[in-house]
Structure 1
Amino acid sequence: MPPRKQITKEQIIEKAYELVSIHGFHNLSARILASEMGCSTQPIYISFQNMNELKDCLAKKAIDAMMLYILAYKKENYAPVLSKILGYVQFASEEKYLYQLIFSSKIMDLDKTKNEVMKSDELEQDMLIYAHGIIMMKIYGTLLVDWQEIKKMIIKVYEKLSV
């Protein structure tokens, strides 16, 4: 009898993360994940008590990816606050399902984001709230403009608030 294939918790998280980034967490089930991994659901339920525990692990991974993206975003010569806000909005635009996962998991805390990423003065807080509103409107289809227009909007508000 051939040895059984060992599926690690890390492998499950990686495959689930890949699937969530493409299809969203709402379309992920243990059965779909197992099928994609070529195994039964048993390794998933051995590694995680339930799908909510997996969701929390995926949200933490997505938060780390988002923070790295924001901190690395330097497309042009913008002020640090503006650069971080643009990175935040662009991450949400490019990774819609990961962003939704982050905020639906209740792990993400806007105050924590503000303190860790933005270092939290009043302008930065106002910009983060404004950006979050744009993201929500864009994700749910109520803001029908492209990235260039969104970028102009953010820059305009930043310039007015930073006076």
Structure 2
Amino acid sequence: MPPKKQITKEIILEKAFAITKEFGFDSISARTLAKQLDCSTQPIYQAFTDMDGLKTAIIEKSISIMLNFIIEHKDPTLPEELGFIIGYVQFANLEKQLFALLFSSGTNGLIHSFATSRQINFNMDMIIYANGMIMMSTFHALNQSWEEKKSMLIHAYELFCQVQL
């Protein structure tokens, strides 16, 4: 008799994360995941008490990946917080499903605590400006090249930093 296939917690999380990246967070269910893993739902519920536990793990992994991306793609020639914002916009453009998950699932407090633990500070004015740019790009209302968008972010940063009341 062949040995039983071992489905670990890590394997389950990786498959669920891959599904999330490709099809979105709402596509995750125990049955969908079990089908992709070619197993019953039992290993999923053994590894994660319930689907909320799995979904929390997916969110935490997504936050970690986003923050690592921001740090790794920060332009060292720019002020640090501007570099973080540019990385944030790049992440949103490259990882649309993960970005949608993180900013439509009420995880802002969790993101803030993760960011703080990695010493990433975001200027709130720039976050609002960047999110507007991201939304306009998502809905094809802003079709500028990446270099033009980066220039717009730099200009906005310069304007926000000059304002002193």
Report the more deviating stretch, 27-36 or 57-66: 27-36
**What are the within-5 Å matches in structure 2 for residues 49-60 of structure 1?**
49-60=49-60
8 Å contact kept, 2:133–2:142: no
Matched, 1:84 2:87: no
Q: What is the letter of the counterpart of residue 143 of structure 2?
A: V
Give the CA deviation at 1:13. Answer: 0.4
Deviations 1:5-44 (A, max 9, x none): 1111111001111121111112222222222222122211
Report the more deviating stretch, 73-82 or 15-24: 73-82
Alignment RMSD, CA only? 2.2
8 Å contact kept, 1:114–1:125: no
Matched, 1:131 2:140: no
TM-score of the superposed pair, with normalisation by structure 1: 0.83
- Residues 105, 46 of structure 1: alpha-carbon distance in 2 compared, 3 angstrom cutoff: farther
In structure 1, the partner of 2:147 is 148
Identity across the alignment (%): 43
Q: What is the letter of the counterpart of residue 27 of structure 1?
A: S
Q: Distance in 1 between matches of 2:57 and 2:112?
A: 20
In structure 2, the partner of 1:11 is 11
Q: Distance in 2 between matches of 1:74 and 1:23?
A: 28
Structure 1 runs of 4+ aligned residues shifted over 6 Å read none
Q: Distance in 2 between matches of 1:83 and 1:48?
A: 37
- Residues 4, 113 of structure 1: alpha-carbon distance in 2 compared, 3 angstrom cutoff: closer
Report the more deviating stretch, 38-47 or 63-72: 38-47
In structure 1, the partner of 2:98 is 98
Give the CA deviation at 1:79. Answer: 1.7
Q: How many residues align?
A: 158
- Residues 161, 134 of structure 1: alpha-carbon distance in 2 compared, 3 angstrom cutoff: same
Gaps of 5+ in 1: none
**What are the within-5 Å matches in structure 2 for residues 24-63 of structure 1?**
24-63=24-63
In structure 2, the partner of 1:64 is 64
Match of 2:120 among 117, 121, 128: 117
8 Å contact kept, 1:30–1:51: yes
- Residues 104, 49 of structure 1: alpha-carbon distance in 2 compared, 3 angstrom cutoff: farther
Report the more deviating stretch, 84-93 or 99-108: 99-108
Q: Distance in 2 between matches of 1:136 and 1:49?
A: 35
Q: Distance in 1 between matches of 2:53 and 2:106?
A: 12
